[in-house]
Amino acid sequence: MSHWPYIIAAYALTVGGMAGLALVSWLRMRRAEKQASALSKPLASSEVEKRISTALDTNGVKVARQP
């Protein structure tokens, strides 16, 4: 009985798994680079207020702003 089918299947799974991991890593790296570049851009004051209120509102309840 030949062992070649098992060996070929093992190599195919290994190469396929490595390719999948490389693809997922590359996609996550691209997303992280976009997020990092967005941090370095200056924000308009309305965007800053929106992000602060969103960050402080952790339980989903709208908070009335003080004038």
**Residues 6 or more apart in contact with residue 53 via CB below 8 angstroms:** 63, 65
Token duo for residue 58: 């952790």
**Pair 53, 63: CB distance under 8 Å:** yes
The answer on pLDDT for 49 being more than 70 is no
- Reported as a single tens digit per residue, the pLDDT across 15-43 is 999 999 999 999 999 999 998 888 877 66
Model pLDDT, residue 66: 60
Average pLDDT of the segment spanning 37-50: 70
The pLDDT score that the predictor gives to residue 39 is 81
Q: Are 57 and 63 in contact (CB under 8 A)?
A: yes
What pLDDT was estimated at residue 12?
Answer: 98
| Residue of higher predicted confidence among 31 and 49 | 31
- 8 A C-beta contact, residue 59 and residue 66: no
